[in-house]
């Protein structure tokens, strides 16, 4: 497998970068596209289709390749990979349950390869505001595939406009569904990890009231009041309280939701003074345990990179290509450190890389369990055996 990553802020720049990538006889068969909703997706698809290149893509909330990070632009990871070693599967889930859709797609993948691995890109919400349940999708895929199969990926973004997201292939697209890049894991080695790096603060607590994504009480106490008091935060300054809550508190102090594997992050993105409640990006059900978190520091990035170095040492080999799915909330909370993290991963694996800022991440945690994540970096390295 050979790979090259390109970027551009206009279709003309992408077209030129694509032509330059072909120098030296590079002939890609597959393109993984991460693109702003403000860009002309159809023009990019036309460019690639004319070269008989298969496409899997998602809209982004910012995008990057090694040494470059942008917003409202596009990046493409071009792969010269044998067509018998992969397949692209598209699924629009409107009118279907996730159980039906996931079972149908999983069985199709298992019919193609005895041992498949997956790169998953899903939408996050439609123009009408209908949210795709990433946790439900992942669970249903695992029911048919089994827990031993590898799944990494991310939810599409929309430049933080919250007007609707999209995933697509060369000839299909949807704002409610998912696309899978299915790899023959007997021929393509897949290494990856989904990790946040956030550290817990204080004791483990219990969600005592939760409904419709709103967290009403923790340990029997009003959730918003307890959250702000425990973190020593106030919102009494003049201006937009809601924005200050998200940008000044929620993105820096997500909750650690305790589950069967490693804790996963759930990020506050709205509050209600009257209800004394917090709206989470993805709900934590009643009866589940959680912890508060310390604010981010340099250790967050270093823990992600240290973990990647450990995995790289185990395989004793560079990768052929690298994909990174990093949460948009991570970009907001870590600032310039997030580019250091992405570039650091690319340098560790010494491979062409492309990624985007997502609205939710899929991937195995350190315990080896698949989870649906928030404010997390999910990376995956590919190597032809």
For residue range 345-360, what is the model confidence (pLDDT) as tens digits? 999 999 999 999 999 9
Chain centroid to CA 207: how far?
A: 26
Model confidence, pTM? 0.94
What pLDDT sits at residue 48? 98
In the chain, where does DSSP find H-type helix? 11-21, 41-49, 98-112, 134-145, 223-231, 241-245, 298-315, 328-334, 337-349
d(CA 298, CA 265): 18
What pLDDT sits at residue 301? 96
Residue ranges in the chain whose pLDDT is less than 70 = 236-239, 260
**What's the burial of 286, exposed, middle or buried (CB within 10 Å: 0-12/13-18/19+)?**
middle
Q: Which helix (H) or strand (E) holds 284?
A: none
């Amino acid at each position: 497998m050979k790979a090259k990553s390109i970027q551009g802020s206009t279709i003309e720049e992408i077209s030129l970068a694509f032509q330059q990538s072909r120098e030296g006889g590079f002939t890609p068969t597959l393109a993984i596209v991460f693109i702003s909703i403000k860009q002309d997706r159809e023009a990019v698809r036309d460019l690639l289709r004319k070269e008989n290149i298969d496409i899997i893509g998602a809209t982004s909330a910012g995008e990057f390749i090694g040494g470059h990070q942008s917003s409202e632009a596009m990046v493409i990871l071009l792969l010269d990979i044998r067509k018998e070693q992969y397949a692209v599967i598209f699924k629009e889930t409107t009118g279907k349950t996730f159980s039906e859709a996931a079972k149908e797609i999983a069985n199709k993948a298992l019919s193609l390869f005895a041992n498949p691995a997956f790169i998953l890109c899903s939408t996050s919400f439609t123009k009408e505001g209908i949210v795709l349940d990433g946790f439900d999708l992942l669970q249903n895929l695992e029911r048919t595939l089994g827990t031993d199969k590898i799944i990494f990926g991310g939810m599409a973004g929309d430049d933080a406009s919250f007007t609707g997201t999209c995933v697509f292939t060369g000839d299909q697209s949807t704002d409610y569904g998912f696309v899978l890049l299915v790899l023959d894991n007997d021929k393509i080695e897949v290494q990856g990890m989904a990790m946040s790096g956030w550290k817990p603060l204080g004791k483990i607590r219990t969600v005592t009231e939760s409904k419709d994504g709103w967290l009403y009480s923790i340990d029997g106490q009003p959730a918003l009041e307890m959250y702000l008091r425990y973190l020593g935060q106030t919102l009494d300054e003049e201006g937009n309280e809601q924005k200050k809550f998200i940008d000044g508190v929620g993105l820096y102090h997500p909750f650690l939701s305790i589950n069967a594997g490693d804790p996963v992050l759930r990020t506050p993105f709205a509050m209600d003074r009257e209800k004394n409640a917090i709206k989470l990006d993805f709900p934590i059900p009643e009866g589940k345990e959680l912890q508060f978190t310390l604010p981010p520091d340099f250790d967050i990035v270093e823990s992600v990179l240290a973990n990647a170095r450990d995995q790289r040492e185990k395989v004793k080999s560079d990768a052929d290509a690298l994909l990174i799915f990093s949460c948009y909330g991570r970009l907001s909370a870590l600032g310039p450190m997030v580019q250091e993290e992405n570039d650091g991963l690319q340098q560790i694996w010494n491979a062409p890389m492309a990624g985007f800022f997502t609205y939710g991440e899929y991937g195995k945690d350190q315990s080896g369990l698949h989870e649906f994540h928030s404010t997390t970096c999910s990376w995956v390295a590919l190597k032809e055996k």
